[in-house]
């Protein structure tokens, strides 16, 4: 669901989908399909919402099956949002998957979603560039195998976690130690009995650190640049997501004030272990793109010293040494960088003037950029109320906006 065209021809699309420009080009722009780029939750939900309004939607996914990005996540991953509030429109998530749905069950659900709703999908085809059609009435998608697809509208749903990001630390290029991005981490078995440094304390870094401890790593250190807000995933049955939904529309400053005493009641002070309470407000950080860390064992592991918090990484040196911000030099057996992702939208739509200085879409959801009517983006925000829930809401809103456009 995610970058530029490979030189070899892509696998053949599913027979239900158009495979050539001539098959889908129409003199009437309203007769052209809407192309949805990305077969993850946002793309599938949007395709379903469009179809329920009588609009032909074609999902184009670069992998060989829908939901592929989820299948590449680490093994222990579970949703941090509840099963009921994570379902996409038109199909509940089965109760047998439990309250916190596991990664493999998410993939099963997405595949079933496309099957039940008979969504039109083209897999193994990657869109490398989106342009205006010569007549200005639609959109031209350039894809692998020389394909040119013409649509009445385009929804970009390639995902927030698209391309792994590794900071340009000094010495990284010549570092002789084992350095892996979290995107390539599956489980802690290969690290049993080893000294491991995890860089980054977002939800991914926190979970990987706990996974390493539980898998028998001899030592686990967690490099932290900015202390995160940590929340309990659930307290006495009340999911953190419920609170996120309740405060979603409240003023940022008010939510920040409410969150402080709640954090003191529910989360112990870990200052003596290297994780002080953040100086900035919880919701202020969310608006900057920093989602709170939902505790799935990190608090206990830090308190017991099983995960050691260390300073931020400043660079690498010969001999497999890692230089920390406090001047400490350490020599772990392996380094796992949970340093996030970039959206990688530049080649796809950067030439259209629809991205901000950080490479993020200037609008998200049902609003199209003023200079690009008919172009929509979904899944490029990190809402406190739950990503899958907001993707579902955006899907309905985007479908309504497209319906108005085509009318």
Res 134 pLDDT > 50? yes
* pLDDT category of residue 158 using cuts at 50, 70 and 90: very high
Q: Which of 361, 384, 380, 392 is nearest to 162 (CA)?
A: 380
Residue 381 has pLDDT above 80, yes or no: yes
Whether residue 24 has pLDDT greater than 70: no
Confidence of residue 261 (pLDDT cuts 50, 70, 90): very high
C-beta separation of 151 from 34 below 8 A: yes
CB atoms within 10 A of CB 146: 10
The mean pLDDT value of the chain amounts to: 91
Q: pLDDT, tens digit, for every residue of 56-75?
A: 999 999 999 999 989 999 99
pLDDT given for residue 193 in this prediction: 98
Per-residue pLDDT for 393 more than 50? yes
- Given a cut of 60, is residue 8 above it in pLDDT? no
Q: Residue 379 burial (CB < 10 Å; 0-12/13-18/19+)? A: buried
Position 9 pLDDT exceeds 80: no
Alpha-carbon distance of 62 to 82, in angstroms, equals 29
- Predicted pLDDT of residue 319: 86
Question: What's residue 5's pLDDT?
Answer: 35
pLDDT of 22 strictly over 80: no
pLDDT score of 136: 87
- Would you place residue 172 in the very low, low, confident or very high pLDDT band (cuts 50, 70, 90)? very high
Q: What pLDDT, on a 0 to 100 scale, did the predictor assign at position 132?
A: 96
State the Cα–Cα distance between residues 139 and 149, nearest whole angstrom: 8
Per DSSP bridges, beta strands 195-199 and 219-223 are: parallel
pLDDT in tens, 307-346: 999 999 999 998 899 999 999 999 999 999 999 998 899 9
pLDDT in tens, 72-108: 999 999 999 999 999 999 999 999 999 999 999 999 9
What does the block give as tokens for 237?
């049955």
- pLDDT surpassing 50 at residue 6: no
Output the pTM of the full model: 0.89
pLDDT at 30: 57
| Domains of the chain, CATH where assigned | 21-162+343-406 (3.50.50.60), 165-337 (3.50.50.60)
- Residues 114 and 124 sit within 8 Å (Cβ to Cβ): no
Which one has a higher pLDDT value, 89 or 26? 89
Residue 138 has pLDDT above 90, yes or no: yes
User: Which has the higher per-residue pLDDT, 300 or 319?
Assistant: 300
Say how far apart CA 340 and CA 282 lie, in whole Å.
19
d(CA 294, CA 233): 5
pLDDT value at residue 27: 41
* Distance from C-alpha of 136 to C-alpha of 150, rounded to nearest angstrom: 11
């Amino acid at each position: 669901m995610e970058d530029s065209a490979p030189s070899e021809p892509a696998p053949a699309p599913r027979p239900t989908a158009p495979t050539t420009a001539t098959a889908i080009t129409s003199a009437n722009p309203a007769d052209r399909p809407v192309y949805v780029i990305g077969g993850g939750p946002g793309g599938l939900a949007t395709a379903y919402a469009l179809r329920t309004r009588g609009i032909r939607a074609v999902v184009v996914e670069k992998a060989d099956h829908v939901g592929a990005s989820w299948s590449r996540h680490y093994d222990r991953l579970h949703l941090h949002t509840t099963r009921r509030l994570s379902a996409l429109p038109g199909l509940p998530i089965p109760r047998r998957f439990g309250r916190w749905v596991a990664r493999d069950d998410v993939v099963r659900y997405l595949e079933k979603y496309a099957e039940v709703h008979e969504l039109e999908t083209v897999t193994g085809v990657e869109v490398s560039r989106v342009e205006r059609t010569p007549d200005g009435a639609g959109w031209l998608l350039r894809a692998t195998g020389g394909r040119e697809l013409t649509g009445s509208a385009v929804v970009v749903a390639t995902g927030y976690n698209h391309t792994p990001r590794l900071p340009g630390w000094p010495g990284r290029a010549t570092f002789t130690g084992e350095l892996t991005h979290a995107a390539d981490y599956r489980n802690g078995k290969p690290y049993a009995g080893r000294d491991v440094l995890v860089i980054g304390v977002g939800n991914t870094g926190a979970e990987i650190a706990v996974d390493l401890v539980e898998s028998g790593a001899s030592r686990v250190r967690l490099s932290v640049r900015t202390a995160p807000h940590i929340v309990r995933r659930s307290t006495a049955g009340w999911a953190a997501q419920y609170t996120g939904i309740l405060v979603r529309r409240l003023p940022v400053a008010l939510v920040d004030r409410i969150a402080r005493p709640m954090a003191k009641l529910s989360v112990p002070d870990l200052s003596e272990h290297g994780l002080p309470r953040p100086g900035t407000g919880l919701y202020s950080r969310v608006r900057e793109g920093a989602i709170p860390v939902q505790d799935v064992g990190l608090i206990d592991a830090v308190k017991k010293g099983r995960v050691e918090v260390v300073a931020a990484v400043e660079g690498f040196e010969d001999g497999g040494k890692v230089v920390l911000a406090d001047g400490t030099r350490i020599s772990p057996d392996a380094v796992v960088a949970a340093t996030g992702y970039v959206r990688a939208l530049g080649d796809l739509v950067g030439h259209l003037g629809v991205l901000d200085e950080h490479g993020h879409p200037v609008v998200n959801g049902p609003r199209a950029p003023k200079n690009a009517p008919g172009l929509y983006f979904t899944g490029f925000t990190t809402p406190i109320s739950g990503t899958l829930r907001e993707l579902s809401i955006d899907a309905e809103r985007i479908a309504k906006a497209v319906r108005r456009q085509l009318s």
